[in-house]
Structure 1
Amino acid sequence: MKICTTWMLGSALLFVAHTTQANQDHLPLVSPLSCLLEPSSDVELSSEVQGIIKEIRVNRGDRVKKGQIVMKLNSTLEVAALNTVKAKLDFANRKVERNADLFRKNLISDNEQDEMLTEKRLAAFQLKEAKVRLSQRQTRSPISGVVIERIKDPGEFVDEQPFLRIATLNPIHAEVVLPAELYGQIVKNQTVNLSPLGADTVYQGKVTIIDPVIDAASNTFAVTVSLNNDAEELSVGVRCQAEFADNHG
């Protein structure tokens, strides 16, 4: 009798365990998890070359487009060098043109003609170099976004240290840390419901990045969720809650 009771109790517990597992397959993976809204990209701009800032064309809060000039250094010497090389190239072109007829009539030697053409080519190369040096005196934004910090002002010296910080706020990212036992259950492009703390609105995002390594110390891994922010309703630095639905349901 004692053995029979024990067997029945064990069977009942096993049935409950299977039933609970089956029900969980159709429930959300986890309760809402804490997350943090961050820019989808955040870059600190520095200058290719050292120099004194002539002008910074943007201020904190300004929007910038990719490729837009945001800073210029003093470039008096570079402009003068460019003009000098332009004059050399113009002279070399005129010299070749003036002597073209003489060369056809064999009034100048092949060696003299070659020297003139070489002078012209060298001047053209020098012009390209001068233009590159001048272009290095200005910095363009590598992304479209918003200026979130202006570190230096006109008149200050700039080198490899950043002078401006720009962030992309559309799309916006949410970083979520998940327990290791969920690794493999989260997939890219999975829909995530996200709610900023203190707000009633729920936003839908997509998983874009899944950390390939589990952190051994915390037994967790992180995922990045991307959200559309066209309406600019979401702000970076805000805490949020994220819910992942079960893909197997």
Structure 2
Amino acid sequence: MKRGIITALVIILALAGIGMVLTNNKKKNEAKTAIVAQGGGAVSVRTAVIKREPIDLDFAVNGVFAPNQELNFLSENAGRVTKIYVSEGDRVTKGQIIARIDAEIINTDKETAEANLQNAIRDEARYSSSFKTGGVTQQQLDQAKLAVENARLKLQSASRKVSDANVKSPINGIINKKYIEVGAFVNTQGTQMFEIVDVSKLKLKVNVNENQVASIKIGDQAQIKSNVFPTENFAGKVSFIAAKADNSLNFPVELVVENNKKQDIKAGMYGTAIFKFPKQAPALTIPRGSFVGSVSSNQVFVLENGNTAKTRKVVAGRILGENVEILEGLNEGETVITSGQINLVDGTAVAPVK
């Protein structure tokens, strides 16, 4: 019995508390309504006067340097490594011998191919002589000539393998990684031997937005700055512009950059590309936040008579940072509403905040 009375008291007190909260909220809402009524019901907004201003298309974008050429050099012949002529960090030139593979078996194959070619040449001479006297047919002579050609091709292949026993660098660059040691066995499946990197030229890979990519083209020049060497200027040229945006709706762009004589810039360092463009004619611009929803809506609110919001259809041009170019729909000197549009409809009374 006592437990039931206590429960009832708790419920009554809880309901009383809820009632007090609702009463307080009602009073607060009535107070707010009274304030709005005193202000004539106008919605507070911020505004901006439309101006004709110079257009600055210059922009800077950060990226990462990559080597102009990068090669993982694989073995072409099977054999044991007998000599390595370079170490990691050494500079090499195209055609330079950097290692040697034991060519004993390869030399034997070449000697055999040479002997087979000589035999084929002698056979062809005998068949040719016999053909003149009617001792062999034309078909037999043709087969002898074909045997000579096949033997000559096999000798060329064997000679190429002997030449390949001297492993030569296919590009100019730096030995970035050495994967083999003297005595190691490499096979014809392509054992990785060296990683060679060319940083005499580099590629600065950056991502630009749709407005920036519209301003650049293949061959455009840009000033390149390195974060590690901020006082030194490098020159870059646009070599690639993606035809399709990535998942973040940015466009990958590559610039070829000439390294200095000491090749101070390394692949993997950060860099900045600075694009500069000719001076543009002044244009009407408004703050980006003026648009209802987004720039693609092409709709803004214009302040009329100092206290009324009127909708206006416009044609937006380029997005220039925090401003947007206006091609049609607005005139210089008019005032647009830059915040508070969510509370507005056409003809709403407003109170600009100074």
The interval holding the TM-score normalised by the smaller chain is 0.7 to 0.9
TM superposition score normalised by structure 1: 0.76
Out of 182-191 and 230-239, give the one that drifted further. Answer: 230-239
Aligned pairs, how many?
A: 229
In the alignment, structure 1 residue 110 sits paired with structure 2 residue 110: no
Aligned mates of 1:213, 1:116 — CA distance in 2: 59
Aligned residue number for residue 206 of structure 1: 237
How far the C-alpha of 1:79 sits from its partner, in A, is 0.6
**Sequence identity (%):** 21
Aligned residue number for residue 220 of structure 1: 250
Q: Which structure has the larger Rg over C-alpha atoms?
A: 2
In the alignment, structure 1 residue 245 sits paired with structure 2 residue 273: no
Q: Is the 8 A contact 1:66 1:143 kept in 2?
A: yes
Find 2:111's aligned residue among 79, 83, 86.
83
Aligned residue number for residue 157 of structure 1: 185
TM superposition score normalised by structure 2: 0.56
Aligned mates of 2:228, 2:156 — CA distance in 1: 57
Q: Is the 8 A contact 2:234 2:259 kept in 1?
A: no
How far the C-alpha of 1:49 sits from its partner, in A, is 4.0
In the alignment, structure 1 residue 234 sits paired with structure 2 residue 260: no
3-state SS of 2:262 partner: coil
Per-residue deviation, residues 180-212 of structure 1 (Å, max 9, x unmatched): 432222211111111112431122211111122
Per-residue deviation, residues 193-244 of structure 1 (Å, max 9, x unmatched): 111124311222111111222112x232221111222523432132222211
In the alignment, structure 1 residue 183 sits paired with structure 2 residue 209: no
Aligned mates of 2:178, 2:215 — CA distance in 1: 42
Q: Which runs of 5+ in 2 are unaligned?
A: 1-45, 281-354
How far the C-alpha of 1:37 sits from its partner, in A, is 2.3
Q: CA 1:248 to 1:83, structure 2 compared with 1: closer, same or farther past 3 Å? A: farther
Q: CA 1:187 to 1:119, structure 2 compared with 1: closer, same or farther past 3 Å? A: closer
Aligned mates of 1:181, 1:47 — CA distance in 2: 47
**What is the RMSD of the two structures over their aligned residues, measured on CA atoms?**
3.1
Q: Which runs of 5+ in 1 are unaligned?
A: 1-8
Q: Is the 8 A contact 1:145 1:168 kept in 2?
A: yes
Aligned mates of 1:94, 1:242 — CA distance in 2: 69
Which structure's relative contact order is higher, taking Cα pairs within 8 Å and 6+ residues apart?
1
How far the C-alpha of 1:135 sits from its partner, in A, is 4.4
